[in-house]
Structure 1
């Protein structure tokens, strides 16, 4: 997956994501954010990192994409130059110190291709958390990968960006391959095109619970779709709040 051009349109594509609600979830779970050390895993362009910093958290963001991190650094430098960002994989964290919490937001965990990589990620995060430390993450439900994604093609049109998004079932259970064609308006009014291929895979809820417990986490609660309600058959986004 090439991120150089995707990073330039990412923020607009994420406009419907209620990032402040994610901040509230972490704030409530930690009984306040001021002074807390938080690891933002797969931080992308730093939207959540900056919002957490606004609430007084000491944030470190990591992401695999150099281009995404460049946008994150630019965003943070305006107000929070002390924010730290590092290019690395979530399965093999290399960070200093211990953290009060880690977040893996907006289905980023679903970019891992197999159970082993998910387990490695849980282990690497468990290792850098303080005792009692929080891990909060969300994933696609199996209903979303198996049913909703199969309703493609999807389209998006704005003043500056348009895309056509086609999906097909992946080779593994509950996986999906997405092919996106982006059309971006240039300053002279012409449109340039670039293409992206994204592969995502999720697992049933109880498989995540099994892997978390094997890693040493205690599951505090599981909820769905930005609400405090338990997941249902047609829930789309599943949240896990767990402790070391």
Structure 2
């Protein structure tokens, strides 16, 4: 099952993600986030949710993985913070209303395999936001799925975790099928192997724009790779900031 054991190694593998930059992007979009009601869609192990809660935001996080949510709840308790975590698929969102902002961070939207599910997700978030509320999310570019991912295999090695990540084009356009073999060092010094299969799909920028507008959003800006620059042919991560 996707993410079942992956949750235990997720934080180390995501250690190079600039979560602080995501906070800055959100503050650029909505201003100071203290006391704002924020929806963290596909919150994973709660890294971003906790950063938001530390700044005084009223956070609700949803994720499809119970294992991820267990880690998120422990992270929250360890810091004596409060937030709500719900076990939900993003395309079946039911987390309340009147949110000031919603985020879908770190290409999580790319785990949806159809335009229909992406559209349902946008519609659900639109319903959850208050008038004037903001949605901020990022996705893989088509350049990344079509050109960069197939250049694998990719490897990772640290004192406690190693993996081999093999990729091949998926069945649909701009999709990638990944098989990951993880080797995790136990207390006895021996390595335990487990395998994960992941499927991600992205769409052209104009497709996302059309689905967002169909859901009722107005597009404020589209930029790439954590910079205030428009996407280019070889951009890898595309960001959307839209408003209800």
Report 1:25-40 matches (<5 A): 25-40=25-40
Question: Separation in 2 of the partners of 1:96 and 1:82?
Answer: 17
Deviation at 1:78, TM superposition (A): 1.6
The aligned counterpart of 2:168 is: 168
Q: Per-residue deviation at 1:195?
A: 0.2
| Deviation (angstroms), 1:97 | 3.4
Secondary structure at the counterpart of residue 4 of structure 1: coil
8 Å contact from structure 2 (residues 153, 164) kept in 1: yes
- Whole-angstrom CA distance in 1 between matches of 2:162 and 2:30: 39
Q: Which runs of 5+ in 1 are unaligned?
A: none
Alignment correspondent of 1:13 = 13
Kept in 2, the 8 Å contact 1:41–1:102? The answer is yes
Q: Deviations over 1:6-46 (max 9, x none)?
A: 00000000011000000111112111101000000000000
5+ residue gaps in structure 2? none
Correspondence for 2:60: 60
Residue 211, structure 1, aligned to residue 211, structure 2: yes
Matched, 1:135 2:100: no
1:75 aligns with 2:80: no
CA 1:80–1:137: 2 relative to 1, 3 Å: farther
Two-structure CA RMSD over aligned residues (Å): 0.8
Distance 2:191 2:57 in 1: 40
What's the CA shift for 1:55?
1.4
| Other structure's SS at 2:147 match | helix
- C-alpha separation in 1, matches of 2:116 and 2:238: 20
Contact preservation (8 Å) 1:50, 1:80 = no
Give the equivalent residue in structure 1 for 2:144.
144
CA contact (8 A) 2:60 2:84 kept: yes
**Partners of 2:167 and 2:82 in 1: how far apart?**
40
Q: State the partner residue of 1:4.
A: 4
CA contact (8 A) 1:53 1:80 kept: no
TM-score using structure 2 length: 0.99
Question: How many equivalent pairs are there?
Answer: 244
Please, what TM-score do these two structures have when normalized by structure 1? Answer: 0.99
Aligned to 1:185: 185
Distance 1:71 1:36 in 2: 24
Shift of 1:80: 4.0
Bigger mean CA deviation after superposition, 231-240 or 81-90: 81-90
Question: Where does 1:34-49 land on structure 2 (aligned, <5 Å)?
Answer: 34-49=34-49
